[in-house]
Each structure stands twice: as structure tokens, then as C-alpha cells.
Amino acid sequence: MPLLITIIGLIVLIFLISYFKIHTFLAFLIVSLGTGLALNMKPEAILKSIQQGTGSTLGSIVAIIALGAMLGKLVAQSGAAQRISTKMMQLIGTSHVRWAFMITGFIVGLPLFYSVGFMLLAPLVITVAYRFKLPAVYIGLPMLASLSVTQGYLPPHPAPLAIVKQFNADMGLTLFYGIIVAIPAILVSGALFGSTLKKYTTLPNKAFIAPDLADAEMPSTLSSMFCVLLPIILISFATVAASYLPENSFLSESLNFIGDPVVSMFISVLVGIYLLGIKQNKSMSEISNLLGDSIKDVAMLFLIFGGAGALKQVLTDGGVSQSIADMMAHSSLHPLILGWGMAAIIRVAVGSSTVSGITTAGFMLPLLAPTQTEPHLMVLSIGAGSMMFSHVNDAGFWLFREYFQLSMTDTLKTWSVMETLVSVMGLLGVLVLKFLIL
């Protein structure tokens, strides 16, 4: 019954937004309240879940999105994005730009959270699309597939890392297997599927398009690249260096602080203000106005993310994820397929890959020893399942839709299908790897 209520609630949500044209945030609140009541939650509990879900979702991403928007605006308006895109086209040509973004997405996605990687790379994709008259979805989806794969499969991203620790799996071996599984998943979901999307020619968000600048007006290639890569450099250096230092030492804690996504983005914005603003002869008043405009560009996303978080929390507190896990706990499927399936259903119902992965891990842990299932492969299987069919209850769905300015239907046909391919290819890769190593 909870699963049926969830499905009905999601259908109502889609109709409210796409057919009745109700504001997305209001639609989320309506469905959250109605679904909570249908799940026999007390009114006070529903309100508490909405507050908690909104707060926890925004609390975890609002600073990253705001700082990412600021850095993206600086990169776009200073001419840094134009400089990078022009240099990229000179080196690889327009015929291979999709592959360049796909590889870049994988490299960037290894150390960075999805939202940070998206905020850094989306302005570059949009700039290239406008400057060279290319479909933004066509060249951008391979990059997003790479970011999604790294988020779902590979530690040190939150859900895979939590599952690795819960299963007591080896981090290095899980990462090694994960990269092997990730490559075909990215090729199919990004390169192959992305090649079919040339017909989606909707212009992306113009907020990240800067006017054409003369060569002398743009920052240097080195400054432009440094500002874009600085968050990656800080997080990567902190992660690697801290692993060689004693835990709880002052230096280790300092590196962990600097390597936090919010802190690294904050430092990068400060550096960007100097290299892409002050050094380009812009006044602090001009820079402040630019940064203020960047927040306006993403303000609506905060409401949408808050609404998605509210619905996710209502579904979680209403026992939907627990009900699905209980329903599948006694299945006769192979543990790797069972873990993937359980994670996939919870992901589609609840919308959070992290909730899906961690919930599933708790049920699969007792099955590892008696079935002699390889824990590293189970981490990857659950991670792949947790990426299944992102749709209206997932913040990533709205991030993609708002930046690339697609309709609800076209977002489902592009983004949601790509995420489904990421999930299915991950399971197939795990099963092939199981066959090869056992």
C-alpha cells in the first residue's frame, strides 16, 4: 500500500506541474501533505517531516549551489569561459567536444560532489553551445553521465563511502572495480545515448552567457583554467594528503577543513574575485552586483530543491523505503541483483540516491556472509541501483531542467533516460565483473 500511495502521489505531482501549471514548490507541498495523510501520518508529523526535509536538503546544498553560481557567473562574465572554450575548440575541434566534456566530467567527478561539478562545468557547456551553435543537451549529457556515475558508484562520494564502511569493504579495491564498471556505463549512457539527442535544440539558461569579448579583455588561459580547477585541486590534494597523516592531528584536520566542498568553493570564489574581477580592472561594486545577480539566477532552484526534500522526507518518515525493503527482503534473486533492485525501487519512490543506497545496505549486510557475495561488488550494485530513473522527486532533475531550459517531457526523455542507463549498465558491469573475477 505505501508503494501504491507513492506512485499515485508522484503521478499527481507531475499533473499539477505539467498540466495544471501550478508552481513547482506549491505542487511539492500539496503532494507532500496529501501523501503524508494517505500514509496515516499525524498532521504534526507531516509538518515536522516537511520542515526537516526542506532544511536538511537545503542545508547540504544551498551554500555549494550559491558559491557555484557565483564562480560560474565570474567564469562566464569575465570571459574565462570564452577563453577556455575557444582554446578547447582549437585543440580538439567541434567534432570531438562531447568526448572532451565526458572525460572532463569523469575527472572532475572523482573528487567533487555532483552539484559542485555541475556548477563548475555547466557554464562551460552552455558557453560552448552558444558560441559554436551546438545543441547544449547533445554536448552536455555525456559530461553529466560521467558526473552521475562517479556520484553513484565511487567512493569517496557519500552513499558509496557509507556502504563501503558498512560492508567493511576495501576502499581502494572498490574504487578500482568501480572505475572498470564506470567506463562502459559512461560510454553507453553518455556517448552513445547522448549522440541521439541532437534534436533537442532548446537554448540553455542565458544567465551564464557572456557577451563576446576581445582577446585583450579576457583573462589568460592559465588564470581561467586555474579558477575552474581550483576546487578540484583543493579537494583532491586534501583527500590524498590527509590519508598519509595521523587522524585527529592538526594538519589532518586543517586539510579536511580546506577540502570540504563548501570551503574549497568559498576559497575559489575569493580567488576568482581577484583573478577574474579585480585583475580585469573591475571595481568591487561591479563584482558585488555580478555575484548578486548569480544568486537571482538560481534562487528558484532553492525552492524546488526544498520542495523535493520535503517530499523525500515525508516518504521516508511515512515508511515507504522501509516497506519496499521489507517486501524484497525474502526474494530468491541473486544478492547482487536483489541489492540493485531494492535500491532502484527506493530511489524511484523516494528520490534520494543516498537514502536509497544506505537503506538498501542495511538489509543486504546480513546476506553477504551466508551467500559469500563479494562486498566490493555489492557496493557497486547498490550504487548503480540508487541512480535509477531520476525524476520529479530528485533535485538533480530540476537542476538539469532549469539550466538547460527543457520542458518536463523532454527532461524525462533525456535526463531520466540517461540516469536509467547509468543504473542498468552499472548492474550489467557488476555481473560481468563477478563472472570474470570468480
Prediction pTM value: 0.76
Q: Where on the phi/psi map is residue 219: left (φ > 0), alpha (ψ -120 to 50), or beta?
A: beta
In eight-state DSSP terms, residue 412 is I
> In the predicted model, what is the mean pLDDT of residues 40-48?
95
Task: Give the H/E segment covering residue 130.
Answer: helix 114-131
Residue 297 confidence class, pLDDT cut points 50, 70, 90: confident
Question: In sequence order, what DSSP letters do the residues of 160-228 get, joined into one string?
Answer: HHHHHHHHT--HHHHHHHHHHHHHHHHIIIIIIHHTT-TT------GGGPPPP--GGGSPPHHHHHHHH
Closest C-alpha to 416, from 436, 437, 396, 438: 396
In order, the DSSP letters of 30-92 are HHHHHHHHHTT--HHHHHHHHHHHHHHHHHHHHHHHHHHHHHHHHHHHTTHHHHHHHHHHHHH
Please give the Cα distance from 257 to 264 (Å, whole number).
Answer: 9
DSSP code, position 132: T
* Greatest Cα-to-Cα distance within the chain, rounded to the nearest angstrom: 67
CA dihedral 211, 103, 187, 201 (to 10 degrees): 0
- The separation between the first and the last C-alpha atoms of the chain, rounded to the nearest angstrom, is 40
Contact criterion met (CB below 8 Å) for 132 and 82: no
Q: Supply 146's cell numbers.
A: 560521467
pLDDT score, position 156:
67
- Please state, in angstroms and rounded to a whole number, the distance separating the CA atoms of residues 438 and 427: 16
User: How far is it, in rounded angstroms, from Cα 275 to Cα 54?
Assistant: 36
Q: How far is CA 144 from CA 104, 108, 148, 179, 199, in A?
A: 10, 11, 6, 16, 18
pLDDT in tens, 6-24: 889 878 887 887 788 888 8
The answer to whether the CB of 112 falls within 8 A of the CB of 152 is: no
Q: What is the pLDDT of residues 401-429, one digit of tens each?
A: 989 999 999 999 999 999 999 999 999 99
Spatial CB neighbours of 315, under 8 Å, sequence gap ≥ 6: 6, 35, 39, 321, 349, 350, 351, 393
Is 267 in contact with 258 (CB distance < 8 Å)? yes
Mean pLDDT of 357-374: 80
Q: Is the pLDDT of residue 363 over 80?
A: no
Q: What percent of the chain has pLDDT over 90?
A: 39
With beta carbons less than 8 A apart as the criterion, state whether 343 and 382 touch.
Answer: yes
Cell of 4: 501504491
Name which of 190, 194, 197 is nearest 426 in CA terms. Answer: 190
At residue 294, the pLDDT reads: 86
Residue 394 banded pLDDT, cuts 50, 70, 90? confident
* 3-class secondary-structure state, position 135: coil
**Dihedrals phi, psi of 392, to nearest 5 degrees:** -65, -15
> What's the average model confidence in pLDDT over 388-398?
89
Which residue is listed with cell 563479494?
A: 374
Structure letter (DSSP) for residue 114: H
Alpha carbons within 13 A on the beta-carbon side of 63: 12
Q: How many CB atoms lie within 10 A of CB 261?
A: 22
Q: What is the mean pLDDT of the chain?
A: 87
- pLDDT > 80? residue 113: no
Element (H, E) at 94: none
